[in-house]
């Protein structure tokens, strides 16, 4: 039972005993640094129930705590704030219960409940993954890890956008300009090879548009009449009609891309439990719309197009089937959501990791699913996030100016190598060990820089700034973890044993224990808010507190064996928390740096 719960029970009894009032909600906060105490009861909200001076109320409740609550050592009242001092034995007893738990912070209390499906990545198969995809992938994967740590069952999935005009553009350009080249003959990853032809299509398309304009066509006419766009549109019709040659080419080039994606996902350290393909799902939802028509959820216009009216909910009317009976994107999303629950019957919620330009789309989707009567639609969440910019500006796929994900990962490793060499931190490492460490530091820097920011905020990403061994960065936290491992190796003190409850805690030791106690609560809050930033910034606060402790108090050179043993055990518990927190962010912590 945490401290707030314990004190709330005593506060409830105190108010009842002293004032004859029933009250079961109390506001606690961390005691401000300039005051004595460990936790503060805010008295002002009690004035709704109690007719008395706030200071007098605080003093009377404080006296009640001292007389009745074993955990309370003393108190002071500053205006309407009751600052409560807790006995060291409470912290030491709690520390004894968590100090050897390598899974500290990871809960199993929700096991057996319904599952959550988290969707992320969802790339197009006409180009490699880029920096924008990286934020998506890291956010989705981390939220899945956090939900698991909070005790939920999780399925990780993606919808691969493997059909449409954009795919046909790459296919057509390869047919025209590729001369039969393959990933094997060029040495390029398949997704990069296909992406090159997407750029090649756009280059030729622009050339043809300019030619037509020079012959007197308007720009709008030229865009519609350029031969290469007409060929791409015909190829899409042929694909939908099942043309064997087009399907063969489509399968071949998509396989190249899937193989390339797999390499990138492995390099960045993420995975999936199941994949959905747009080529299989784009027709889903049409039957659902027909069923919704019969139930009055949708309505048909004179031209036979099908709509839903969401104006009463503050939204617009939304098209769900065209007049020719073909589906639109939201129709597919309706069908895919339902298909997922059919495939995984224990799913009772979904998280969609998609950029904030789709905020409106998901409001509409979730509302339609609720109106269709699906109970799990109450548990749908759009993990909306902002763009990632670079100092050089925005990225454009068609023009080939994107920051390629593989190149960025390699650049992060190189930058980590440069900075590590400058700092001279790698004496005694073999070349293989160095390269592995550079990758660990570089990826840790990239992931932490992106995940420490609230998802809704736009990010300006500076690779070199992210790889700093000081401040709120991944490498700073990784370095602190490695420092703890060095302490543990030198101490020769194994886990186990019990800390004496009479041990005299110093303030720095107590502050670390208090922060450790918050970790499980932070995990639950991060899961409820789908926010890796809460985990990242908690870890930074813990590491800052540990480094202050490390610099202020001798650990291996402690005055007594009891102090040395306790401080080593405390350092080990901090390391467990760092490792588990960073695992939720998808970041590896090295034993040596």
Query: What tokens does 137 get?
Result: 């992938």
CA-to-CA distance for 576 and 99, rounded, in angstroms? 9
pLDDT of residue 112: 65
pLDDT, average across residues 44-72: 95
Phi, psi of 83 (to 5 degrees): -90, 120
Q: What is the pLDDT of residue 99?
A: 96
Residues in the chain: 593
Domains, the chain, with CATH or none: 3-86 (3.30.1360.70), 409-584 (1.10.730.10)
Q: Note the pLDDT of residue 395.
A: 42
pLDDT of residue 283: 86
Within 8 A by CB and 6+ apart from 182, the residues are: 193, 256
DSSP 8-class letter at 376: G
CA–CA distance, 442 with 134 (Å, rounded to integer): 14
CA distances (Å), origin 159, targets 299, 306, 329, 520, 592: 29, 25, 13, 32, 39
Whether the per-residue pLDDT at 67 is higher than 70: the answer is: yes
% of the chain with per-residue pLDDT over 70:
97
Distance CA(94)–CA(2), nearest Å, equals 9
Q: Assign 33 a pLDDT band (cuts: 50, 70, 90).
A: confident
Whether 591 contacts 483, CB under 8 Å: no
Element (H, E) at 94: helix 88-98
Does 38 have pLDDT greater than 70?
Answer: yes
Average pLDDT over residues 91-96: 96
Name the token pair of 432: 């293989």
Q: What is the pLDDT of residues 358-390, one digit of tens each?
A: 999 999 999 999 999 999 999 999 999 998 877
Least confident residue range of 110-119, 188-197, 330-339: 110-119
Q: Which residue has the higher pLDDT, 114 or 586?
A: 586
**For residue 402, what pLDDT band results from cuts at 50, 70 and 90?**
low
């Amino acid at each position: 039972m945490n401290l707030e719960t314990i004190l709330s029970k005593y506060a409830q009894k105190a108010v009842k005993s002293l004032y004859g009032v029933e009250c079961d909600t109390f506001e606690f906060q961390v005691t401000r640094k300039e005051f004595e105490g460990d936790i503060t009861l805010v008295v002002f909200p009690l004035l709704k129930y109690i007719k008395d001076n706030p200071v007098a109320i605080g003093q009377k409740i404080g006296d009640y705590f001292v007389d009745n609550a074993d955990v309370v050592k003393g108190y002071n009242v500053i205006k309407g704030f009751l600052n409560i001092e807790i006995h060291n034995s409470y912290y030491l007893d709690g520390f004894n219960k968590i100090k050897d738990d390598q899974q500290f912070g990871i809960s199993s209390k929700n096991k057996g409940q319904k599952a959550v499906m988290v969707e992320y990545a969802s790339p197009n198969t006409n180009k490699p993954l880029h920096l924008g995809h990286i934020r998506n992938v890291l956010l989705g994967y981390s939220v899945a890890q956090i939900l698991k740590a909070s005790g939920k069952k999780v399925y990780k999935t993606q919808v691969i956008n493997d059909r449409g005009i954009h795919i046909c553009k790459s296919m057509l350009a390869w047919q025209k300009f590729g001369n039969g080249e393959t990933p094997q003959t060029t040495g390029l990853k398949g997704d990069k090879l296909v992406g090159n032809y997407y750029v090649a299509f756009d280059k030729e398309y622009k050339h043809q548009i300019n030619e037509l304009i020079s012959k007197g066509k308007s720009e709008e006419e030229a865009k519609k009449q350029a031969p290469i766009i007409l060929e791409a549109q015909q190829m899409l019709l042929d694909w939908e009609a099942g043309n064997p040659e087009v399907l063969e080419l489509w399968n071949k080039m998509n396989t190249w891309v899937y193989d390339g994606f797999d390499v990138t996902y492995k390099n960045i350290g993420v995975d999936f439990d199941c994949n959905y393909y747009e080529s299989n799902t784009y027709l889903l939802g049409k039957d659902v719309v027909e069923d919704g028509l019969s139930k009055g959820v949708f309505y048909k216009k004179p031209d036979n197009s099908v709509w839903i009216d969401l104006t009463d909910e503050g939204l617009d009317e939304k098209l769900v089937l065209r007049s020719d009976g073909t589906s639109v994107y939201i129709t597919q999303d309706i069908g895919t959501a339902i298909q997922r629950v059919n495939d995984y019957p224990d799913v009772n919620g979904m998280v969609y990791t998609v950029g904030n330009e789709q905020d409106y789309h998901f409001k509409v989707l979730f509302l339609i699913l609720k109106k269709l009567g699906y109970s799990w639609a109450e548990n749908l969440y759009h993990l909306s996030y902002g763009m990632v910019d670079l100092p050089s500006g925005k990225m454009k796929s068609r023009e080939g100016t994107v920051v390629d994900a593989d190149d960025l990962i390699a650049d992060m490793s190189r930058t980590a190598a440069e900075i590590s060499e400058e700092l001279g931190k790698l004496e005694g490492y073999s070349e293989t060990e160095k390269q592995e460490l550079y990758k660990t530091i570089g990826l840790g820097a990239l992931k932490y820089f992106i995940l420490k920011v609230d998802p809704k905020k736009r990010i300006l990403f500076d690779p070199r700034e992210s790889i700093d061994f000081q401040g709120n960065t991944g490498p700073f936290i990784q370095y602190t973890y490695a420092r703890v491992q060095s302490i543990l190796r030198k101490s020769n003190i194994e886990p186990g044993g019990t800390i004496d409850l009479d041990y005299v805690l110093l303030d720095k030791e107590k502050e670390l224990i208090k922060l450790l106690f918050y970790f499980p609560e932070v995990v639950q809050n991060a899961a409820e808010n789908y926010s890796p930033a809460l985990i990242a910034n908690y870890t930074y606060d813990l590491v800052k507190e540990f480094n202050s402790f490390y610099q202020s108090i001798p650990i291996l050179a402690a005055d007594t064996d009891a102090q040395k043993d306790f401080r080593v055990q405390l350092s080990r518990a901090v390391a467990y928390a760092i490792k588990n927190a960073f695992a939720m962010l998808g970041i590896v912590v090295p034993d040596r740096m």
